Structures are given as C-alpha cells and as structure tokens.
Structure 1
Amino acid sequence: MMQVISTKSGATTKECPPTGKLIILTGPSGVGKGTLMRSLLQRHPQLHYSVSVTTRSPRPGETNGKDYYFVSRREFEELVAAGELLEWAEFAGNYYGTPREAVMNQIRSGKRVVLEIELKGARQIHTCYPSALSIFILPPSMSELEKRIRGRAQDSDEAIARRLRCAQEEINAADEFDIQIVNDDFESALNSIEAAILS
C-alpha cells in the first residue's frame, strides 16, 4: 500500500486559525453516521461539510459532488502523489480521502468544518491537527450493527463479515476520541452531536 501523506509541518496556527474549527465524525460502517450528518446539516446549514473523494461506486441516490467525489483508482493515486489530500485511507477495498485546500479555505474563513471519515483518516487528522474535535459514533451492540448493515441489502455475506471484523477493530479504538456517542436513539444521538459541535 502507498505511504500515507500527511502535513505535520505548517499545519498549526498558520493553516488553522482559532476562528475556524475542524470536527471529525467517525464510527464503524452501518452505525448511522451518514444519516446523522445529513440531519445535522439540515438543522445547521452554517456548518461546512467536507465532501470526500472515493473510488467506490455510487450507491442508489448518491450524487457526485454532493455525497462524494467519485473517481477512479488512478485519479485517486494522482491526488495522493500531488499532496492534494488532507488524509486518506483504504477501507473495504476502496480509497477514501479529504481534499486539502477546500477544508483549509473554510477553516481560514472561520467556518466549523465537519469531516465524516474512517478511523485511519481520523487518526491522520488527529496527528496533524490535535486541536480538532473528534467524535466517535458507537452502535448499541454488534448484533444491532449487523442488522443495520444487512438491512441496507448492498453487501454480500462475505463483505458483511469483513465490515463486521473491521467494525470491531474500530470500536476498540473509540477511547482515542474526545467524545463517544451511542446511536441507540437517533434523536438523542443527534442532540448529543449538536451539543458537542456547537458548544
């Protein structure tokens, strides 16, 4: 696998002035972080959502440039080589990454920027930007998580098993994050995220 690109130099107050804020939202696949994010943005349009780049295929209803920027593996690797991603990781056979300049411009302008990213990417951001607020979304249980993933009817049994193995590893890392929120009751989880981000 390619080497991770990160920006430890020059990634402090010069790029992240105190007027803006970087917020990381992560959790295992199927935990509901995407649905929580959409509801959060509907309630608080002043928040800036950073659209990630991915090599995976669009799911039904997803729009290029709104949900993700969908690119080929070659295009993604060119972005990595050019240093144009703030963070990136490979997950379930696909690459995911965050465009650097779009995020930094929003933070410089004083916006609260929310990244919905995978664990590996969240760790990269935390290393480069320790002042970022990090939130981990937990499922009520592994059995409930499996039920949610199966309910999407988008993955084979093999892919589901792989996602669940990955999920357990990610859940084991939840203590690395500033705040852990269990998505048992949707409204309660959303209110907890609001309180953390807007306080």
Structure 2
Amino acid sequence: MRSKGSGSRCRTLSNGPEKGRIYVISAPSGTGKTTIIKRIKELRPAIRFSISAATRRPRGIEVHGKDYYFISESEFRQKVEAGEFVEWEEVFGNLYGTLKSELVDTVMKGEDVILEIDVKGALNVKSQFPEAILIFLLPPSFDELVARLTGRNTEGPEELQRRISRAEMEFSFKEKFDHCVVNNDLDKCVEEVLELLEKPKKVGGNQ
C-alpha cells in the first residue's frame, strides 16, 4: 500500500480573483462517510464533488463519470507518469487518484470543490494546496468503529483485520486535520459538516 503526491511544489490559489475553496473529507471505513456524503448531496445538490479515478470495477449502481472515472491499471499508471494526478494511492489492491483537471480547473472558476479521499491523499493535497480545508469524520470511539466493521459481516477475518489495522493508522493522523466531526448522530454530524462547508470566506483570503 503506498501513497503518492504529484511531486509538484506547494501551490497557492489565493492570489488574483477570488478562487473556489478546496475541502477534503476523510474517514476510516465504518465511520458512515458514504451515508453522510449521500445526505450532503441530497441537501445541497449544487455542491461540487471531485470525481476520483479508480482501477476497480463499478459496484452496484455506480456510474462512470459520475461516481468514479473507471479506468484500467495501465491507463492509470500512464497518467501517473504524465503527472496528471494531484494525489494517488493503492488501497487493497486497487488504485485511486485525484486528477489535477478535476481540482484546479474547478477552483480557478471560483467554484468550491469537495474531495472524498483517504487520509494520506488528504495530506498530500494539503502539502500542495495549503489553503485546502481538511475535515476528518470520526466514530464515537475506536471500539465502536471495530464493532461496526465486525457487525457488517461483509468481509472475512483477514480482510476485516486489514480494515481495522488501516483504520488504526488513519486515526493516528487525525490531529493533522483542520476539523474533526464525530458521527454519533447522523443528522447532527451532517449539520456540522455543512456548517464548515458554508462558513464565509475570510476577507482577503481563500477560507
């Protein structure tokens, strides 16, 4: 499992005309991120979410160009070599990445954009775009997270342990995020995240 940035230098999007803001939402598996993101999209359909590229097969009703850009591993690696990703990572044997075109073009048009990516990817984005706002979603406790993962009964023992170990690693980075929101109550959690997304920009700044 590895995480890579684009290799480019730190950038800023705060000069010149007002630019859009970059938000990154990350959470360990089992935190309820998918449900929270779905609720945000229902309540604020105008909010723009960045679409990640992925080498895995579509799941359920996922649609290419809407949920992910589903591409082959060879095409993905070609884009890596061409420097087309802001960040990318291998997770459980599949490659995921954020395309520069998805991020920079949107922000330069003055539109806010939300990235729904993993913890290491979030930190890579922050290293390149310091003005990005990182939001980390948390369960009430790590024990509660383990109970949720175990209760899903969707993975075998080995896969379950991998997810628990990864969640433990992700927890260790929570202090590097700008905001942490606990998902103890779904409606309250969604409300808190929306408040962060709709917080007025500072005068003369990008946040």
- Which residue in the other structure is 1:53 paired with? 53
Aligned match of 2:8? 7
Instruction: Within 5 Å, give how 1:80-91 maps onto structure 2.
Output: 80-91=80-91
**AA at the equivalent of 1:28:** P
- Give the Cα separation in 1 of the matches to 2:19 and 2:28: 30
Deviations 1:25-68 (A, max 9, x none): 00112211122112112211221100111122322232222221
**Counterpart of 2:75?**
75
Matches within 5 A, 1:119-130: 119-130=119-130
Cα distance change on mapping 1:152 and 1:67 into 2, 3 Å: farther
Gaps of 5+ in 2: 200-207
Residues 98-124 of structure 1, C-alpha deviations (whole Å, 9 max, x = no match):
111122111111111000001111111
AA at the equivalent of 1:23: Y
Encode CA deviations 1:121-178: one digit per residue, 9 max, x unaligned: 1111010011111100011223332343345544322111101101011011101000
Moved over 6 A (4+): none
- The more displaced of 168-177 and 83-92 is 83-92
What residue number does 2:178 align with? 178
d(CA) in 2 for partners of 1:27 and 1:145? 11
User: SS at 2:144's partner residue?
Assistant: helix
Q: Is the 8 A contact 1:89 1:97 kept in 2?
A: yes
Judged with a 3 Å threshold, the aligned counterparts in structure 2 of structure 1 residues 5 and 163 are, in CA distance, closer, same or farther, namely same
Runs of at least 5 residues in structure 1 that lack an aligned partner in the other structure: none
Within 1, Cα distance between the matches of 2:3 and 2:119? Answer: 17
Question: Normalised by the size of structure 2, how large is the TM-score?
Answer: 0.87
Q: Tell me what 1:106 maps to.
A: 106
Distance 1:60 1:77 in 2: 25
CA, structure 1 residues 87+2, in 2 after alignment: closer, same or farther (shift >3 Å)?
closer
Kept after mapping to 2: 8 A contact 1:17/1:107: no
* 1:13 partner letter: L
Q: What's the offset of the Cα at 1:14?
A: 7.6
Partner letter of residue 175 of structure 1? E
Q: Which moved more, 1:53-62 or 1:184-193?
A: 53-62
Count how many residue pairs are aligned between Structure 1 and Structure 2. Answer: 198
> Which whole-Å CA distance do the structure 1 matches of 2:15 and 2:115 have between them?
17
**Does structure 1 residue 161 correspond to structure 2 residue 161?**
yes
In structure 2, give the amino acid aligned to 1:7: S
RMSD of aligned alpha carbons: 2.1
- Structure 1 residue 93: Cα displacement: 2.0
Between 1:136-145 and 1:45-54, the stretch displaced more is: 136-145
In the other structure, the counterpart of 1:190 is: 190
* 1:48 alignment partner, SS class: coil
